[in-house]
C-alpha cells in the first residue's frame, strides 16, 4: 500500500492565518493612529484636523470665567486661574475644591453687563467688569469690580490668567 503525502497547502494556510492574526494584534496594541499620509490602515480617508492653541486676550479670559460660571463649566472656569493662584488659595488647590467652592456661593446664574480692558502693559492687565448675579433665592444682584491678569508663560496652560490679587497672599509668581 502506498502512503499518500499530505500536501503542504494546509501548512501554508496555517502560517498565513497566524501571520495575519499576529499583524492584527500588533497594530491594535502599538499605536491607535497608525496611518499612512492621507489614509488610515483600513483605507478610509484620513481627516486631518490640526488644533491650534490660541492665547485669549485678557478681556476674553474674564468673559470665559463668567460664562463658564454661568453654565457651571468648572474646568473652563478653573482654567482661567494662574498656577500661582491655585497654589495660594485652598479653595482653588484642585478642580474638586474649586468646584465645591464656586457652587457653594449661592449663585444660580450670571449675566455679563460689561467687560472692558482698562490697561495692559504686555505682562499685567486690568479688566473691569460688571455682572448681574441671579442668586439661589431668585433675587438679582449687580456687582462691579476688576480683575488683575498676568501673562503666564510658565503655567501648565500658558496665557493670560487671573491672579490671586488680595489678602496677604498675592500671586507674584
Q: Where are the domains of the chain?
A: 1-49, 58-162
CATH of range 58-162; options 3.40.50.2300, 3.10.450.100, 3.40.50.150, 3.30.830.10: 3.10.450.100
Is 23:42 a contact under the CB 8 Å cutoff?
no
| Chain mean position to CA 88 | 22
- Write out pLDDT tens, residues 92-104: 899 999 999 999 9
HSE-up (13 A, CA, CB side) for residue 82: 23
For 31-73, how does the pLDDT look when each residue is reduced to its tens digit (9 = 90+)?
554 444 454 544 444 455 555 667 899 999 999 999 999 999 9
**133, 56 contact by CB (below 8 A):** no
Nearest in space to 161 (alpha carbons), one of 77, 102, 69, 75: 77
Amino acid at each position: 500500500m502506498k502512503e499518500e503525502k499530505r500536501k503542504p497547502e494546509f501548512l501554508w494556510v496555517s502560517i498565513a492565518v497566524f501571520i495575519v492574526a499576529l499583524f492584527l494584534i500588533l497594530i491594535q496594541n502599538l499605536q491607535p493612529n497608525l496611518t499612512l499620509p492621507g489614509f488610515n490602515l483600513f483605507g478610509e480617508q484620513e481627516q486631518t484636523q490640526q488644533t491650534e492653541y490660541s492665547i485669549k486676550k485678557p478681556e476674553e479670559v474674564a468673559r470665559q470665567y463668567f460664562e463658564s460660571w454661568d453654565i457651571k463649566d468648572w474646568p473652563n472656569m478653573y482654567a482661567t486661574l494662574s498656577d500661582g493662584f491655585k497654589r495660594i488659595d485652598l479653595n482653588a488647590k484642585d478642580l474638586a475644591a474649586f468646584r465645591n467652592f464656586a457652587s457653594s456661593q449661592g449663585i444660580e446664574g450670571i449675566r455679563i453687563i460689561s467687560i472692558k480692558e482698562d490697561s495692559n502693559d504686555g505682562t499685567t492687565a486690568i479688566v473691569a467688569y460688571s455682572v448681574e448675579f441671579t442668586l439661589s433665592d431668585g433675587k438679582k444682584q449687580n456687582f462691579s469690580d476688576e480683575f488683575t491678569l498676568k501673562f503666564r508663560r510658565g503655567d501648565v496652560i500658558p496665557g493670560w490668567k487671573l491672579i490671586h490679587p488680595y489678602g496677604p497672599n498675592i500671586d507674584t509668581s
